[in-house]
Structure 1
């Protein structure tokens, strides 16, 4: 739950209220599910050079990308635009129009779903089945101004279990985002959010007994961006607070972070990235705060790529270090990567990677560990209004001060069918697997869940 601010996949605070819709203007940090890679997802790739369509073997994709990257700028059509992923591209005949009033647009969604799981408590033995019904309304108001921007979003999710009502949970969230354009090259943005959440039973360190763990989370961030010549400078400060209910309040913590980033354009298609993050975590209610309070630093350097219709994203590597008040420390190799590859105009392959230090207060109290995650996802537009998706993510937790290692896996497959602007169908199958080993191992479990959902959109 808590962790470093290095970019990663996250499940909490999904910013896009609709499953298939234009890209949201804001991006929130995410927790992302565990899983594994699936080899051989695609056989070919497409590249467009000088207006001609060229088909190449996947093994040659990187070579082709390098040729495009270092080709003279004038070799490409000047009005050529970068590709948009399958999920982000607009679909004018199926995207909800919203309700316009003055300089603002209102969008709203009502999601209805039913999910069947064969291990509702994520237990190692004696797994229990259940059916979960959910209702999730949300609404978003955003400005349509040519300069500056404001966006406000709120929603909730209400879950009811058919057999185990003790697992019923209600969650909610509210977010604000505002951007001030200072001249033509600078912006200042303020974001704030609050939410009431429930810890998933499938988290590797979540308790298996008792009522679901509920908590409140607040986030505030101030970010400034300035662009000049071939450089973009980004700086920001942020604060995140967790407040847990009941006896779990020993997990209450506050994290303050400062970050800086420099993007330098080496060529129109390749850039250099340098970034640094420093944070401080304080657990006020813990009986021995010295073993959990800490200061962390992460330094990363890497490259960003934008090969027009072939690939875009960035890869960063560096060093992380976390020092605890008790005197112990953890350090190692840090990785943060996110790449989108477009083998065809109808398919997007997303690859992510992350490695950093974490700590957790849960079933095993507080123990620092190094977490490594790699994931891949394929989105394919079978029809204009039918999107197929499959993803997998694998992870490993290496605990520093106890003899424990967790292997985490998550995979899913599904489809989104847009009936019209107002109605969409969604189907998902999700598989979660955790294997814990060592003298201080926690638990092993597998869970299968199948979900059918219906969305009404404004």
Structure 2
């Protein structure tokens, strides 16, 4: 799975409002047979008529990298300081039970992210890769400090001008965010996990027809955790310190075919299939979480004059679990990304996604995740970029909450109770590029979460509001 960053990929902005779908992970597909057609002199599927503010070249303010033979190496270091108004992402904590130490606690932190990337400079074929380390150190709550790191490698082998094999792999050591309801927020420290991924595929154009097939695998392994003492959980929601029940391997397959109606517009159909294999059962209900599912979408991608470009798809998804006590999860699938260009200096981007994701809550194996975000980027000057965003997300759990006997929790009308979580966030940012090697940025974000069902007695209320500020200095070559 790939997380979708609301802002720049820094730890404080990662895992904000978007939850990737199970079937949206590394994907692979079925290679679809050719529909024929006369080869054209140029591709009908390149959407570069418009250039967004963040994509635009800035002569005099772009690092050139270090050339070594036929490779270009690009080192980069981000350092900064930040503030969070609610480190534990909790509210309305009962002081009488001693939980007030977690309520709306603020803190400042220091941040550093050194990274390096290399790219080939060949006339044919391509290879690129890199590595990074992200470290956050809190001043007062040192147990919330974390270090993430990872490395990746991607490549492409050109068969012809319009056909290539591609692939890649990555490995990451990450920490879960306290702000995610789907993570284990009742533990005394953020949970660490490792993620490995590998993918490969083939794509080709036949005149007006383009095909793509891709196959991938991903593994996740979660460290065990320590539950915060004295936590009292209402029957209906269980958190387990032993996180082995979340360890899994996912295989995904993808096939796509597109037809160019005009030079600037194409219609497409995409089919994905996934298999989820979990290492074990949870410690409470002993239920298997293995599943398989599919997602089919169709739509259009386009680049119209100087007004708009994007890709909009709609379809259907379904995830079925081997254990019959888990409900099948299905619904309307949405995958959209639109860019509007009101002027050469302004880009407005709208993204939307709806799919299914794995759950960290023992009573439910998965949930439907819906996310919408709009972002505005404006080039005030060639070296000054202003940005803002607003985002909304909703998680819907179909499975009912269960009591200690494994029976559904009922409301006052005798109906099973399920969970629903709404998230909303806004943010503002500015980046100032001083020269090719140095830039500074400042970001502010506000996020709120509303949980429909309160599941803790006299303890934690997971509705929260959090304000964050981050000041970053970037050095690059």
* TM-score in terms of structure 2 length: 0.79
Q: Residues 6 and 17 of structure 2 are in contact (CA less than 8 Å); yes or no, is this contact kept in structure 1? A: no
Q: CA deviation at 1:146?
A: 1.2
Cα deviations by residue, 1:13-58 (Å, 9 ceiling, x for unpaired): 95xx9xxxxxxxxxxxx976329xxxxxxxxxxxxxxxxxxxxxxx
Q: CA deviation at 1:368?
A: 2.4
Q: Which of 199, 204, 213 is the equivalent residue of 2:181?
A: 204
SS at match of 2:177: coil
Cα deviations by residue, 1:106-134 (Å, 9 ceiling, x for unpaired): 10111101110110010123211111101
- Provide the residue aligned with 1:292 in structure 2: 289
Q: CA deviation at 1:439?
A: 6.3
Q: Within the alignment, does 1:397 sit opposite 2:367 as a pair? A: no
- Provide the residue aligned with 2:471 in structure 1: 452
CA distance in 1, matches of 2:125, 2:286: 43
Gaps of 5+ in 1: 18-29, 36-79
Q: CA deviation at 1:204?
A: 2.2
SS at match of 1:90: coil
- Provide the residue aligned with 1:218 in structure 2: 196
CA distance in 2, matches of 1:85, 1:290: 48
CA distance in 1, matches of 2:442, 2:179: 20
SS at match of 1:147: coil
CA distance in 2, matches of 1:11, 1:158: 19
Q: How does 1:59-208 map to 2 (within 5 A)?
A: 82-125=49-92, 126-206=103-183, 207-208=185-186
Q: Is the alpha carbon distance of 1:250 and 1:451 closer, same or farther for their aligned partners in structure 2, counting shifts above 3 Å?
A: same
- Provide the residue aligned with 1:386 in structure 2: 384
Cα deviations by residue, 1:287-335 (Å, 9 ceiling, x for unpaired): 4675421101000010111113211111100010010001231111111
Q: Is the alpha carbon distance of 1:210 and 1:439 closer, same or farther for their aligned partners in structure 2, counting shifts above 3 Å?
A: closer
Q: Residues 335 and 356 of structure 1 are in contact (CA less than 8 Å); yes or no, is this contact kept in structure 2? A: yes
Q: Which deviates more from structure 2 when the two are superposed, residues 224-233 or residues 433-442?
A: 433-442
CA distance in 1, matches of 2:58, 2:345: 13
Q: Residues 256 and 279 of structure 1 are in contact (CA less than 8 Å); yes or no, is this contact kept in structure 2? A: yes
CA distance in 2, matches of 1:167, 1:256: 33
Across the two proteins, how many residue pairs are aligned to each other? 394
CA RMSD in angstroms comes to 2.2
Q: Within the alignment, does 1:306 sit opposite 2:273 as a pair? A: no
Q: Which of 259, 263, 269 is the equivalent residue of 1:264?
A: 259
- Provide the residue aligned with 2:426 in structure 1: 411
Q: Within the alignment, does 1:241 sit opposite 2:219 as a pair? A: yes
SS at match of 1:285: coil
- Provide the residue aligned with 1:366 in structure 2: 364
Q: Which deviates more from structure 2 when the two are superposed, residues 202-211 or residues 413-422?
A: 202-211
CA distance in 2, matches of 1:308, 1:98: 34
Q: Within the alignment, does 1:252 sit opposite 2:271 as a pair? A: no
SS at match of 1:122: coil
CA distance in 2, matches of 1:81, 1:237: 27
Q: CA deviation at 1:267?
A: 1.1
CA distance in 2, matches of 1:296, 1:89: 39
Q: Within the alignment, does 1:351 sit opposite 2:350 as a pair? A: yes
Q: CA deviation at 1:81?
A: 6.0
CA distance in 1, matches of 2:196, 2:364: 22
Q: Which deviates more from structure 2 when the two are superposed, residues 91-100 or residues 439-448?
A: 439-448
Q: CA deviation at 1:179?
A: 0.5
* TM-score in terms of structure 1 length: 0.82
Q: Is the alpha carbon distance of 1:200 and 1:211 closer, same or farther for their aligned partners in structure 2, counting shifts above 3 Å?
A: same
CA distance in 1, matches of 2:118, 2:275: 34
Q: Is the alpha carbon distance of 1:31 and 1:337 closer, same or farther for their aligned partners in structure 2, counting shifts above 3 Å?
A: farther
Q: Which deviates more from structure 2 when the two are superposed, residues 378-387 or residues 223-232?
A: 223-232
Q: CA deviation at 1:205?
A: 2.3
Q: Is the alpha carbon distance of 1:365 and 1:98 closer, same or farther for their aligned partners in structure 2, counting shifts above 3 Å?
A: farther
CA distance in 2, matches of 1:132, 1:250: 32
Q: Residues 314 and 333 of structure 2 are in contact (CA less than 8 Å); yes or no, is this contact kept in structure 1? A: yes
CA distance in 2, matches of 1:33, 1:343: 27
Gaps of 5+ in 2: 19-46, 93-102, 225-241, 401-417
CA distance in 2, matches of 1:258, 1:237: 5
CA distance in 1, matches of 2:153, 2:121: 16
CA distance in 1, matches of 2:368, 2:222: 24
